[in-house]
A and B are shown apart, each in its own frame.
Chain A
Amino acid sequence: MSRARKVLIFGGIALATFGMLYGLYYALFVEHQTLDQMGGSLATAFVNAAERKVPESRAALDTYAATKYDYVRQVDVHSHWIGLAMLMIVLGVAFDRGAFGETVKLCIALALTAGSVVFPLGVILQTVSHGSIVASALAIVGSALVIIALAATAFGFARQST
């Protein structure tokens, strides 16, 4: 088995396991509480408005927006880590069909692995500090690595011999 395939298959299984562990931890300890807070703060905003407590209503709406900002990214991280891991394993199995030399294959495999780890990591770091430039930069660099690696792989598969 080539080094590129090893990187993709073993890296993919490790990333899928990590993504599922994160999902289990999230479902057990975070999700229900987050959903409660999200629904509760929106309801509170409406209740306060009904009681004509405008500043409190706005504050509850801010809490709702901030909680939803985190929730969307937390769920996205879980699905993207596992999705990218699955893609790595699948491409790993077929990788030697691509019309590239070993060095190029290894570079593509490393780029896809790095992007698959870094892109969701950047997304989850956005919840630590909302609007963080470093976190957004990580997410952008990670997704760019994935897209470039995928484009190269598609090109390699399209050129594959029969």
Chain B
Amino acid sequence: MATEAISSPISAAFPAMSAQRLLVFGGVALIAAGMIFGDLFAVFILHQNGGKTGEALLAATKAVATQNPAEVKEVFSRIGGLLEDRGTKVDTHVHLTDAGYLALLLALVQPYVALSAMRKKSLAKLFLLGGVLLPIGIFLIHYVGLAYSPFSVIGWASILADSAGALLIVVLAVEAWGVGKCFRGERLAVENDFQQDRSWESRALLSGGTVLVLLGFLYGAWYAGKNLYEQEAREKNILAFTLDAAVKTPELSGQFVNAYGMLAAEKAVQIAAHSHIIEFGLLAILLSFVQRYVFLSDVWKRRWVVLLLVGSLILPVFVWLELKLGLVAGGIADVGGLMVVIALIGMLVGTLRYSGSVDALGGMHS
């Protein structure tokens, strides 16, 4: 890969180990980690967990048919565990990537935070600490449970997650206070204002990202209007039919349990398509600001941009098509996710190279 020289005015910004640099690196790393976790979850846990939940629900209907309330309770305890397992992993994925987005966002607003460089750096470290501990806490909830907890419903893992969430809130509040000071006329910032970059890569990511977010919102509005209430009513009806069948015609229970599983899958893919296209749009917009710090040749920078935008469209579209095309669509969606991860890592490597070059230049001048 060919590289370009870095001009000294640029190297004056993005200082070594500044809050802005910490937040850019930490943010991209958190997003990449969150997406890799999401891909692993989709491939190795999601479908298997859904299958086990369906089997457990069928076992519960059989227990209803044989008038065995104790067995019903035991099966529902198992279903609760399965749902918690799935839910905490989805939340880990979401909070890991969202903490990354917030870190990149904070990097963008650093020029408008009227606080000392030392304080901003401390805030950045605290934010990244919270951004790592929050998903770890959420992930551990299922495994730690209520062991040694002084509370009746909240375990130590939840306490860790909630404390990390509180830390993020405190950091955000202080950053907001710093932005408020800037608006009142104080300005201590030495960081770059990211909006100066008008390169092809930056414009493609900014426009493409905004269009992806817009598509996500349009789809979300369509989903809320057409499907949300209908699916809620259908879920209640299916459960009522399942119970009726278990009591009167047990041989039909399996059909209703299947219908319930299909409904759950339908909801899951529609909501995942909505959230992923918006998140990828946001990611593209965020990455548009750091393109000037991606120290790669123009050809490679454009390759990563195109790969990211194409992957960002492929994943939600094929997640949505999963019910119609089956596992093939799921596999294509996973490839889309992988494309985004590869593009993200490519850009991260470019940014690391930029930082190394800036630091080397700084060392030569000093």
A residues whose Cβ falls under 8 Å from a Cβ of B: 1, 6, 9-10, 13-14, 16-17, 20-21, 23-24, 27-28, 32-33, 36, 39, 42-43, 45-47, 49-52, 54, 57-58, 61-62, 64-65, 68-69, 72, 79, 82-83, 86-87, 89-91, 93-94, 96-97, 139, 143-144, 146-147, 150-151, 153-154, 157-158, 160-162
Known: A89-B108, A146-B217. A51 touches B69 (CB 8 A): yes
Q: Is the CB of B206 within 8 A of A147?
A: no
**A61 and B162 in contact, given A32-B153, A93-B194 (Cβ under 8 angstroms):** no
Instruction: Check if B153 sits within 8 Å of A150, measured CB to CB.
Output: no
Question: Do A58 and B168 form a contact, CB below 8 Å, given A13-B176, A89-B108, A154-B214?
Answer: no
Which of A33, A43, A65 interacts with B235 by CB under 8 Å? A65
Contact with A along B37-68 (1 / 0, CB 8 A): 00000000000000000000000110110111
Q: How many residues of B contact A (CB 8 A)?
A: 69
Q: Contact check, B207 vs A158: say whether CB atoms are below 8 A apart.
A: yes
Interface residues of B in 69-111 (CB under 8 A from A): 69, 71-73, 76, 79-80, 83, 94, 98, 101-102, 105, 108-109
Which residues in window 149-173 of B have CB below 8 A to A?
A: 153-154, 158, 161-162, 165-166, 168-169, 172-173
Closest residue of chain A to B203, judged by CB? A160
> Is the pair A61, B243 in contact by a Cβ cutoff of 8 Å?
yes
Residue of A nearest to B246 (CB): A49
Q: How far is the CB of B221 from chain A (nearest CB, A)?
A: 5
Provided the pairs A21-B169, A150-B214 are in contact, do residues A94 and B179 lie with their beta carbons within 8 angstroms?
no
CB distance A50 to B72 under 8 Å? yes
| Chain A residues touching B, majority SS | helix
- State in angstroms the CA–CA spacing of A147 and B98 once bound together: 22
B residues near A49, Cβ cutoff 8 Å: 64, 243, 246-247
- Bound Cα distance from A50 to B66, whole angstroms: 7
Given contacts A32-B154, A90-B108, 6 further A-B contacts (CB under 8 A): A17-B169, A49-B243, A65-B232, A89-B108, A90-B286, A97-B198
Docked Cα-Cα span, A91 to B158, in Å, equals: 33
Contact B165 A24 (CB under 8 A): yes
Contact A143 B217 (CB under 8 A): yes
A57 to chain B, nearest CB (A): 6
B328 close to A (CB within 8 Å):
no
B108–A13 touching, CB < 8 Å: no
Interface residues of B in 247-291 (CB under 8 A from A): 247, 275, 278, 282, 285-286, 288-289
Identify the interface centre among A28, A43, A62: most chain B CB within 10 Å of its CB: A43
